[in-house]
Amino acid sequence: MADASFIAGDWGTSHLRLFLCDGDGRILERADAAGAAAAAGRFANLFDDLVAPWQQRGGPLPAVLCGMVGSSIGWIDAPYVPCPAVPEQIAAACVALRDGAIHVVPGVSCRNRLGAPDFMRGEETQILGALHLDPTLRRGQRLLCLPGTHTKWVALQDGVIVEFLTGLTGELFALLRDHSVLVQRTGELDPVSAAAAFKQALARFNEFPQAQLLHRLFECRARRLAGELTPLTAAGYLSGLLIASDIGGALRLLPPAGNAHSVHLIGDSQLTQLYALGLAAQHYTATALEGTAAALAGLAQVYRQLTQRLVANAVH
Amino acid sequence: MADASFIAGDWGTSHLRLFLCDGDGRILERADAAGAAAAAGRFANLFDDLVAPWQQRGGPLPAVLCGMVGSSIGWIDAPYVPCPAVPEQIAAACVALRDGAIHVVPGVSCRNRLGAPDFMRGEETQILGALHLDPTLRRGQRLLCLPGTHTKWVALQDGVIVEFLTGLTGELFALLRDHSVLVQRTGELDPVSAAAAFKQALARFNEFPQAQLLHRLFECRARRLAGELTPLTAAGYLSGLLIASDIGGALRLLPPAGNAHSVHLIGDSQLTQLYALGLAAQHYTATALEGTAAALAGLAQVYRQLTQRLVANAVH
């Protein structure tokens, strides 16, 4: 454990992922547990239990944590940094626990394109990581998309988060799949026919991009009644409708600058593949970065900046 | 019970409403029970139990039933009449049970404006009733809206149902209110502040009518985080967003003819009031007809047509 330098933690609502890292942010070991929703009030104990083996072997290690752990119902409230949010500002706004042994990354807030308040927490760290892993993102205007329970569409200007927009895509999909009349899945999904239904929905949505999602959803049921979908393919069709609506709606509100027809996806690789298909159906190209890798790179980046600040303070 | 002529039944998914009527369709008595979802396979028994007191006193009475009772999982499958559907055609396509003692009204199907199959069952009878109660609806192009679990927007041409479109409005509202992160209601609703939040959402939606609903929903949560909504007003705001999206999206796809800025609402009076507010916010006027009254008038209309046919058959 000679190389162990710090602990990086991605502590979201549903999952906690802790990584023991060396000075360059390379993973030496990892530990997983249930997320902030299950932690309710026991953040310190949970954290100490998980990192105890590492601390025992490697001595006291600093930690950088991001995600819902920093929310008002988390371990400590790390207030949102308002847009425009400069990457270095986000790291500098970390909130310290235990005399600075633990740093919690703040979320980012904005007033979005629709005039509504909007918030992210966790995604800002993935964005910091993406900016480190792909420095070209620091130049000019870029559009990022972080698909998930609450999909974030993020406009960057020279590496600064200038605004973003949240789609309820993942949460709505799960609700409609599990609780509505639309899907009523009764057996095992056939991936091939579900994928075909997904692509069909993408194409159909694009025929009437001005339609509201509300008027397309019943299709999942009506096409089953008409024999055009089965209970097993309706979930794929529903997923296609939601992702097409998310992409079409977001690109109309936050069009990429100039002639750029490229979107940078960050997230779970299965999900970014679906979004890449959706973007292609709307004549956009996509690059994809795996979400956990991005979060880890972001946490390492924050750790580096905090260390440099400590060193600078010690020198002066 | 000398006046009793027939039994009218509105047998939907959640409710069964049976009416003992005189020859003019006036209600003499009514009986209520759980709907088709709870009836599963026991339609005949349920019906016989409920109408037994009436039959005992008044002798055998014919019945006309509409709604999910005529679906493939109902008492008998009454196949959909395709659009354009003429009112007299719908009555003529009733499916007989028990040698014609019971008639079940068919649903109506179409290929909607978005190229998708679409279905209604139960609403066609309310429309028949509306055409009877307000004969001006039989002239020219008219746009009806029947809000509910699955809201129907219906285009009439000289009294003929030419096409319609379904919004998942009511079902989506209930799902999001009860199961999402958006509302999380923890106390009693204050009707006044909920109504204010509802109107605010109508106004805000109309500022960006081209926005997709998916990108407005998270507002319910974000505005709570920002202190602009409470858990108690968020449900009103959510309702406003959904109804505004339903109205805006439907009117863009099915605009009323010429300069007509009027929509004919049929449904539960609380719901038609909300839709009337939503229509006013988009500069439309609305007339409203109570849903059960419309269904009853429709069932009486079907009964009259069937009786005339029997008389005509007997004469020839």
Which comes out higher in pLDDT, residue A256 or B230?
B230
Mean pLDDT calculated for residue range B235-264: 91
Query: With an 8 Å Cβ cutoff, are B180 and A182 in contact?
Result: no
Res B185: pLDDT:
65
In which order are the strands placed within the sheet that holds B285-290?
Answer: B160-167, B151-157, B141-146, B262-267, B285-290
Chain B closest CA to A117's CA: distance in Å? 6
CA distance B237 to B95: 43
Query: With an 8 Å Cβ cutoff, are A213 and B208 in contact?
Result: no
**Residues whose CB falls within 8 Å of the CB of residue B188, separated by 6 or more in sequence, listed in order:** B232
Number of residues that this document lists for chain B: 316
Shortest CA distance from B165: residue in chain A:
A215
Chain A closest CA to B66's CA: distance in Å? 19
CA distance B314 to B316: 6
CA distance A131 to A139: 10
Does residue B225 belong to the interface with chain A, where contact is any CB pair within 8 Å? yes
Query: With an 8 Å Cβ cutoff, are B171 and A180 in contact?
Result: yes
3-state secondary structure of B39: helix
- Amino acid present at A281: A
Res B1: pLDDT:
56
Chain B closest CA to A116's CA: distance in Å? 6
Res B247: pLDDT:
97
pLDDT of residue B64 exceeding 80, the answer is yes
Distance of CA B49 to the CA centre of its chain: 26
Alpha-carbon distances, residue A178 vs A147, A183, A218, B40, B103 (angstroms) = 20, 8, 15, 21, 35
Res B101: pLDDT:
95
CA distance A148 to B118: 30
Mean pLDDT calculated for residue range A65-78: 94
Chain B closest CA to A121's CA: distance in Å? 12
Which band of pLDDT confidence, cut at 50, 70 and 90, is reported for residue A25?
confident
Does residue A121 belong to the interface with chain B, where contact is any CB pair within 8 Å? no
Query: With an 8 Å Cβ cutoff, are B114 and A216 in contact?
Result: yes
Q: Read off the tokens for A93.
A: 């706004």
Q: Read off the tokens for B100.
A: 């014609």
Does residue A78 belong to the interface with chain B, where contact is any CB pair within 8 Å? no
Q: Lowest-confidence range among A72-76, A274-278, B91-95?
A: A72-76
| Angle made by CA atoms A75, A80, A84, in degrees to the nearest 5 | 155
pLDDT in tens, B291-314: 999 999 999 999 999 998 777 777
Residues 16-45 of B with CB under 8 A from A: none
Which band of pLDDT confidence, cut at 50, 70 and 90, is reported for residue B176?
very high
Substitution target from B145, B208, B212 for chain A, most A beta carbons within 10 A = B212
Does residue B253 belong to the interface with chain A, where contact is any CB pair within 8 Å? yes
Chain B closest CA to A5's CA: distance in Å? 36
Query: With an 8 Å Cβ cutoff, are B214 and A246 in contact?
Result: yes
Res B181: pLDDT:
84
Q: Which range in B19-28, B38-47, B128-137, B302-311 is most confidently predicted, on average pLDDT?
A: B128-137
Which comes out higher in pLDDT, residue B172 or A193?
B172
**Upper half-sphere CA count for residue B199 (Cβ side, 13 Å):** 9
* DSSP state, residue B75: S
Q: Read off the tokens for A66.
A: 């991001």
Does residue A218 belong to the interface with chain B, where contact is any CB pair within 8 Å? yes
Shortest CA distance from A171: residue in chain B:
B180
Residues of chain B in contact with residue A168, where contact means CB-CB under 8 angstroms, are 180, 182, 214, 217-218
Query: With an 8 Å Cβ cutoff, are A222 and B166 in contact?
Result: yes
Cis peptide, bond prior to residue B106, ω within 30 of zero: no
Which band of pLDDT confidence, cut at 50, 70 and 90, is reported for residue A201?
very high
Burial (CB count within 10 angstroms: exposed 0-12, middle 13-18, buried 19+), residue A218? buried
For residues A229 and A237, the answer to whether their CB atoms sit within 8 Å is: yes
Mean pLDDT calculated for residue range B250-269: 88
**Residues whose CB falls within 8 Å of the CB of residue B191, separated by 6 or more in sequence, listed in order:** none
Does residue B313 belong to the interface with chain A, where contact is any CB pair within 8 Å? no
CA distance B299 to B305: 10
Which band of pLDDT confidence, cut at 50, 70 and 90, is reported for residue A186?
low
Helices H / strands E in chain B, number of each: 10, 14
| HEC assignment per residue over chain A | CCCEEEEEEEECCCEEEEEEEECCCCEEEEEEEECHHHHCCCHHHHHHHHHHHHHHHHCCCCEEEECHHHCCCCCCCCCCEECCECHHHHHHCCEEEHHHCEEECCCEEEECCCCCEEEECCHHHHHHHHHHHCHHHHCCEEEEEECCCCEEEEEEECCEEEEEEEECHHHHHHHHHHHCCCCCCCCCCCHHHHHHHHHHHHHHHHHCCCCCHHHCCCHHHHHHHCCCCCCCCHHHHHHHHHHHHHHHHHHHHCCCCCCCCEEEEEECHHHHHHHHHHHHHCCCEEEEEEHHHHHHHHHHHHHHHHHHHHHHHHHC
Shortest CA distance from A254: residue in chain B:
B211
Does residue B314 belong to the interface with chain A, where contact is any CB pair within 8 Å? no
For residues B21 and B5, the answer to whether their CB atoms sit within 8 Å is: yes
Residue with tokens 């973007």: A279
Mean pLDDT calculated for residue range B127-150: 96
* DSSP state, residue B134: -
What count of other Cβ atoms lies within 10 Å of the Cβ of residue A22? 15
For residues A223 and A237, the answer to whether their CB atoms sit within 8 Å is: yes
Phi, psi of B135, rounded to the nearest 5 degrees = -60, -15
Does residue A225 belong to the interface with chain B, where contact is any CB pair within 8 Å? yes
Mean pLDDT calculated for residue range A200-205: 96
Kindly give the pairing relationship between strand B63-66 and strand A27-34: unpaired
pLDDT in tens, B193-244: 889 999 999 999 999 998 999 999 999 999 999 999 988 899 999 999 999 9
